[in-house]
């Protein structure tokens, strides 16, 4: 079967989906970019219609409820989109013989160890968002004889749509004093690099759970400072603790203190690590300036 004969990307208007569209087009593949208005994956009947319409050989699921803090107030909606939805895609994917690629998160882990999390490590999400994403992983795994690939990533940013760097640029450019958490550690991941990494895994027939992030780890504070420097923005950026941030915003979701993912299995399979996150900022700046 030609894996790329009929490609569908759900959540087609999102940041990662648009990057996937670009890398697929470079290969001469025109994917069906399906937005939520066309298919709400939490609705089983709409998923059924999607598969009847496209009979996908490959479905890349970028549809998700990604508003981490809002998920605390909307856990049922988060579970429906991030949990039930992937399950429906998996059930129909099995029926149609499709390959399902799903995206998950570092937030499925509790952040209580001192080494990068491996794909086989036991999850323990702290937030409603993390729990809903883990539910989606489990729903996919429960479907027997399905060809599937779940990619956990972290701190995703890119030139399409809202993300942490965009918030920093907007607020810093407006003269705000920024207070940014300095005791949570993770790996910023550039969406364009992740999209290329996905195809590298597919090219090699990867299955199961994989961790894919840019190399290196940092805090939100250092990430913010690096962004301001890259964009030559003079701004006052102050480090604060998670406890201080929580005191200011008590309704925020609990984030893991340490959520660095171990990409070594990916690096061994494709023959290299992804570049350091700092090296992606110039490309991000170019993408932002091109889009403005």
- Catalytic residue numbers? 129
| Domain coverage including residue 143 | 7-219+251-291
Distance from C-alpha of 60 to C-alpha of 290, rounded to nearest angstrom: 26
Burial environment of residue 175 by CB neighbours within 10 A (0 to 12, 13 to 18, 19 or more):
exposed
Phi and psi for 169 in degrees, rounded to 5? Answer: -60, -45
Report residue 65 as tokens.
Answer: 């409820």
CB 154 within 8 A of CB 282: no
Kindly report the CATH number assigned to the domain that includes residue 79.
Answer: 3.40.50.720
pLDDT along the chain (292 residues), means of 10: 92 95 96 96 97 97 95 96 97 97 98 94 96 98 95 96 92 89 97 97 96 97 96 92 90 93 96 96 91 65
157: tokens are 């940013």
Per the CB < 8 A criterion, the answer to whether 57 and 7 are in contact is yes
Among candidates 51, 59, 68, which has minimal Cα distance to 12? 59
Task: Kindly state whether residue 233 falls inside one of the protein's structural domains.
Answer: no
Structure tokens at 291: 């889009």
In a domain, 286, yes or no: yes
In a domain, 61, yes or no: yes
User: Count of domains in the chain?
Assistant: 1
Tell me how far CA of residue 166 lies from CA of 152, 188, 224, in angstroms.
22, 13, 10
In a domain, 244, yes or no: no
Domain for residue 57, yes or no? yes
Within-domain flag for 225: no
| pTM of this structure | 0.94
What residues form DSSP beta bridges with 185? Answer: 219, 258
Q: Distances from the Cα of 104 to the Cαs of 93, 101, 140, 176, 252, in angstroms? A: 18, 10, 11, 33, 20
* Inside any domain, residue 240: no
Strand partners, 227: none
Give the sign of the dihedral formed by CA 261, CA 7, CA 132, CA 219: positive
59: in domain: yes
Instruction: Give the length of the chain.
Output: 292
């Amino acid at each position: 079967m030609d894996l790329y004969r009929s490609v569908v990307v759900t959540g087609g208007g999102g940041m990662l989906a648009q990057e996937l569209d670009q890398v697929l087009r470079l290969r001469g593949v025109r994917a069906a970019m399906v937005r939520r208005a066309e298919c709400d994956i939490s609705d089983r009947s709409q998923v059924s219609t999607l598969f009847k319409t496209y009979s996908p050989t490959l479905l890349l699921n970028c549809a998700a409820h990604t508003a981490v803090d809002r998920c605390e107030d909307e856990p049922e909606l988060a579970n429906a989109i991030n949990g039930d939805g992937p399950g429906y895609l998996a059930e129909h994917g099995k029926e149609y013989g499709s390959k399902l690629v799903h995206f998950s998160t570092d937030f499925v882990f509790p952040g209580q160890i001192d080494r990068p999390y491996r794909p086989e490590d036991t999850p323990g999400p702290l937030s409603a968002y993390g729990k809903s994403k883990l539910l989606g992983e489990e729903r996919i795994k429960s479907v027997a004889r399905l060809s599937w690939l779940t990619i956990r990533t972290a701190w995703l940013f890119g030139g399409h749509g809202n993300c942490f760097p965009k918030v920093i640029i907007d607020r810093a450019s407006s003269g705000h004093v920024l207070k940014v958490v300095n005791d949570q550690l993770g790996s910023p991941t550039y969406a364009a690099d992740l999209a290329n990494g996905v195809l590298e895994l597919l090219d090699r027939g990867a299955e199961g759970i994989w961790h894919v992030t840019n190399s290196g780890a940092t805090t939100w504070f250092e990430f913010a400072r690096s962004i301001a420097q890259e964009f030559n923005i003079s701004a006052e950026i102050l480090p604060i603790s998670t406890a201080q941030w929580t005191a200011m915003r008590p309704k925020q979701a609990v984030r893991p203190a340490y959520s660095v993912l171990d990409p070594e299995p990916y690096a061994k399979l494709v023959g290299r690590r992804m570049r350091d996150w700092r090296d992606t900022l110039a490309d991000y700046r170019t993408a932002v300036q091109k889009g403005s």
